[in-house]
Structure 1
Amino acid sequence: MFKRIMLFVLTNILVILTISIVLSVLGVGSYINMDGSLNLTTLLIFSAVVGFSGAFISLAISRWMAKMMMGVQVLKPDDPSLSYAERDLVERVHRLARAAGLTKMPEVGIYNSPEVNAFATGPSRNRSLVAVSAGLLQEMDDDAVEGVLAHEVAHISNGDMVTMTLLQGVVNTFVVFLARVAAWAVSQIREEFSPIIHFIAIIVFQILFSILGSIVVLAYSRYREYHADRGGADLAGKDKMIHALRALQAYTDRVREEDTSLATLKINSKNKVSLFSSHPPLAERIQRLEER
């Protein structure tokens, strides 16, 4: 759901900024010739190294970041203090994971939030995490929870985080490259621009282009949601997957009626999609499953 992709995008932007600042301070990867012109080949290589490094670092720490930022409490299968509901949640995820062909079971966790949400993340199929909100367990019945969990396990089985990382690496490469070209172009306007101004311009342009680049990543995320829905239907059954989506739709409708300001933070929009939506409309997802 919403958390998986947005946590990854935010982490990636922060990692790329950190790498860029450190390398700039250290003077690594100089791409400006002695005459002040740009060495585009050197800059492209530098951008690719930084871009893909940032994406893979973001992937490597994705599970840790999710636990830290969301306050996820990981449930240990052999913990005797687990409640019946917690143990049942772990067993459900592991059963679905085995059905999906995973050889190493995902970590399962709960985070304390009234929102109805769940997400799967992690650097690989063997080092993954499925986390659900307390609100989801309280609001949804067993069949709907099963459909949601199957959808998240399908994301892991499909390797969506890895393919997302490769795409993010390409986007990062263009972000780093274009930010430095733009900053260099600005520095040519007035000769008295100091290296500090040039550095600040790089950071500003990099943030701007990162936001624009996220449009591409989010578009791919919307595309992969349909695949995860189909995977969830295969694992839990088509009826349970559709029931889960209808339950989410009913929840978002209620949230929208109760507090419009909160609705923008939830799973997705009911009838339309924006460039910055991580998920397609629920109505369209339900329709595709029904027509399958």
Structure 2
Amino acid sequence: MKRVMLLIATNLAIVIVLGVVATLTGANRFFTSGGLDLGKLLFFALIMGFGGSFISLWMSKTIAKWSTGAQVVETPANSTEFWLVETVRRFADKAGLPMPEVAIYDGEPNAFATGASRKSSLVAVSTGLLQSMTREEAEAVIAHEVAHIANGDMVTLTLIQGVVNTFVIFLARVVGWFVDSALRKADDQSSGPGMGYTITVVICDIAFGVLASVIVMYFSRAREFRADAGAAHLMGSPRPMVAALRRLGGMEAGELPQNVATAGINGRPGWMELFSSHPPIAQRIEALQR
């Protein structure tokens, strides 16, 4: 649940900050002067929605390193680091990708891939995963992360988040306008949106953003099945990936920060399954076996 809430909070924070800046700079007048102009509001929502999601994508690799404490392996210092770098290189070559940055971070078993593009990507693996898995199982996990990069999952989810953000921003301001208008019915002297508009917009940005995250998480779960299949292709067999998932099913998966949770290896849906970025492991194993 912590990962999911942090994931939601990151996107909401960016959207809300952009919204507050727009209010303070008077940008809202672009679509509220002379009444609510829905066409201009939609254009504003598109700029803000996709702007927020691409800012997150652009910052993803830097924030991932900082938030996990991941250390990029520039020059392998031991046999494990050498094996890790060469394994990532082998799968990247097989997938036709430029060599990603490779990093290790301290933590429970998990791994993630992130980055703004295939040419600027990062594969990070936890010490817990390296210590708890066989080499073949760890290779399957690495192949899964390389498959995320090859499938363009970071950019795909960014575009989906941009569409979702656009609707959130648009609807929040439409609701804010009507609430503000209802509160100011008896005030003929006021012009333009007032405090009721600002407060309602912030509340709706949060509420609609939480609900909209269900859509993003649905697509994230679908991409996990594709990454599993990609790992099976890179490994030449689904067996190692199935073994890795079974191993992970018996482990306590490491919590990932909000900006990398959707590109990790493991997720454990509970009562908030709709907000989970990963399908249940049993479903993933069944899909691979089919």
TM-score, normalising length: structure 2: 0.86
SS at match of 2:65: helix
Pick the aligned partner of 1:148 from 122, 125, 141.
141
Distance apart, 1:147 and its partner CA: 0.7
Distance 1:49 1:90, change over 3 A: same
1:93 aligns with 2:88: yes
- Contact 1:52/1:172 (CA < 8 Å) preserved in 2? yes
Q: Which position in structure 2 is the counterpart of 1:26?
A: 25
Residue aligning to 2:68? 70
Once the two structures are superposed, residues 151-189 of structure 1 have per-residue CA deviations (whole angstroms, 9 ceiling, x without a partner) of 000000000111111111110100100111121122123
In structure 2, the gaps of 5 or more residues are 255-264
Q: Distance in 2 between matches of 1:7 and 1:62?
A: 14
- SS of the equivalent of 1:251 reads coil
Shift of 1:198: 2.4
Report if the CA contact (8 A) 1:270-1:283 is conserved.
no
The aligned counterpart of 1:224 is 223
Separation of aligned partners in 1, 2:211 and 2:270: 23
Partner of 1:281: 280
Q: How many Å apart are 1:8 and its aligned residue?
A: 6.1
Does the CA contact (< 8 Å) of 1:93 and 1:149 recur in 2? yes
Q: CA deviation at 1:287?
A: 1.0
Specify which of 104, 116, 132 is matched with residue 123 of structure 1: 116
Query: Would the aligned equivalents of 1:118 and 1:131 in 2 still touch at CA under 8 Å?
Result: yes
Relative to structure 1, is the Cα distance of residues 170 and 60 closer, same or farther in structure 2, using a 3 angstrom cutoff?
same
Residues 1:95 and 1:27: Cα distance change in structure 2 (over 3 Å): same
Asked if residue 13 in structure 1 is aligned to residue 12 in structure 2, the reply is yes
Q: Does 1:251 align with 2:258?
A: no
Q: SS state of the match for residue 144, structure 2?
A: helix
Describe the shift of the 1:206–1:241 C-alpha distance in structure 2 as closer, same or farther (beyond 3 A). same
* Equivalent-residue separation in structure 1 for 2:283 and 2:100 (angstroms): 29
- What amino acid sits opposite 2:21 in the alignment? V
2:104 maps to 1:110: yes
- The alignment partner of 2:112 has SS state of strand
Residue matched to 1:58: 56
Question: Displacement of 1:19 after TM fit?
Answer: 1.5
Distance 2:122 2:101 in 1: 5
The aligned amino acid for 2:169 is V
Q: Write out per-residue CA displacement over residues 56-114 of structure 1, whole angstroms, 9 at most, x where no aligned residue.
A: 111111111111122111111xx26x122122111111111111110x2111111211x
Q: Which deviations, in whole Å up to 9, do the C-alpha atoms of 1:1-22 show, x marking residues without a partner?
A: x97x987654332222221111
Highest relative contact order (Cα 8 Å, sep 6+), 1 or 2? 2
Amino acid at match of 2:38: L
Secondary structure at 2:275's aligned position in 1?
Answer: coil
Other-structure match for 2:195:
196
Whether the 8 Å CA contact 1:270–1:282 is kept in 2: the answer is no
Q: Which amino acid aligns with 1:223?
A: A
8 Å CA contact retained: 1:252, 1:267: no
Kept after mapping to 2: 8 A contact 1:93/1:108: yes
Calculate the TM-score normalised by the size of structure 1.
0.86
RMSD: 2.4
Shift of residue 218 of structure 1?
0.3
- Secondary structure of the equivalent of 1:116? coil
In structure 2, do the counterparts of structure 1 residues 174 and 218 end up closer, same or farther at CA, with 3 Å as the change threshold? same
Structure 1 unaligned regions, length at least 5: 256-265
Q: Which amino acid aligns with 1:32?
A: T
Over the matched positions of the two proteins, sequence identity in percent amounts to 46
- In the aligned structure 2, how far is the partner of 1:271 from the partner of 1:249? 14
Q: Is the 8 A contact 1:16 1:50 kept in 2?
A: yes
1:117 Cα deviation (Å)? Answer: 0.9
Whole-Å separation in 2 of the counterparts to 1:285 and 1:45: 39
